[in-house]
Structure formats: structure tokens, C-alpha cells
Structure 1
């Protein structure tokens, strides 16, 4: 009996029954002292298995891919990174206010959060 694993990286992509069939053919050739033919056949089979697995994985990836378009904001310096999570935040003003001071001022100006009571029935 000949045992050889595909390895953890390839295991999810290769069908085990096809891998076993390729190994059985190799084992039969080795038993008949036909090492060269056995290895050539095994490597050829493994190559087609890997190509097939790559093709299927590539098709699945293409179906699940989302295209993301880059949007350039007007009047923005291309060297400056745009962080959409920080949009709407106040920036330091002309009075040399620091970001922390600006943040404190914006939180102070906000009304307190409203907590609603659960409805009892």
C-alpha cells in the first residue's frame, strides 16, 4: 500500500477519489518495477488534478468577486489618504484648535442620546 497526502494546502481542492486512483496506478507501476512510467504517469495525473482544481477555484472566485471602484473626491490632494470612516468629523479650524479640542467641542454641542423605555404590554 502506498500512502501520500496532498498536504493541507491542497486537500480542499483535490477530489480524494481521483488522488487515490493516481496513487494506485503509481503503486501498480512500482510493483512491476516500472518506476519511470509510474512516476511520469503519476505526475501527469497530479498536474491535471491541480489544473482542474485551479480552474474550479478560479471560476468560484470570479462569481463571488465584487468590483470596487475608486472614487476620487473633488478638491482633494491625491497624496492625502481619504478615510471614509472619518467623513463628517470636524477638522481643526483656523484658530489652531487641536483635533482633541475640536472633538470635545463637537461632543459638547451634541444633544444627549435619548434612551427609550421598553414598551410594556
Structure 2
């Protein structure tokens, strides 16, 4: 497994489902960090880890446990890559994030 590529897939999925622009999402990660398995990156990790699994149905508790275990394993493997992504987000400079900028209709964007 290419962990760098898998982490990139997780990040792309999380961004796509967040409803935020890429700079807005990255700013949230810069502020809040990667979160845990129940955060936006964790939800995307669940999807990627279980893409090969059929959708669990009610009454299939063992299937749900298996899906949660798949997510936990992949999360631990990806954690260093996701932490590196969060550090990159913290190092990035952002514009348009303040209340004053938003009141003028500006959107969050990268400074460089």
C-alpha cells in the first residue's frame, strides 16, 4: 500500500464532502488538527478502508465491528502522513479568514 497516495485520497474525499473550499478546509485542519477517527479525515478513512466491503445491513453487528477495525488499522497507518499534512496546513499562510474580511465578502484563500 502506498501510504502517501492513500492519505492523499483520504484528504481529497474529506475535502470533497466538507462543503468547504480547499483553503477553507486546510485552514480548519490548521486550527483543529486532524481530529480522530470520528473527524472529517476519520470519516474519509472509514470510506477508503471499507471501499471493498459490502454495505453492512441491520443485524450484522460483526460486519460493523469489522468495518470499524478496518478504519482503526488504516487510521494508525496513515496517522504520520495526516499529521504531516496538518503541519503543512499550519505552515501555510491564509487570507480572508477574519470576521472583517468575511464581512466584506472575502473568502479564505492561500496567501502565496
TM-score by length of 2: 0.31
Bigger fraction of residues in helix: 2
Please identify the structure whose Cα radius of gyration is greater.
1
Report which structure shows greater RCO (CA 8 Å, sep ≥6): 2
TM-score by length of 1: 0.29
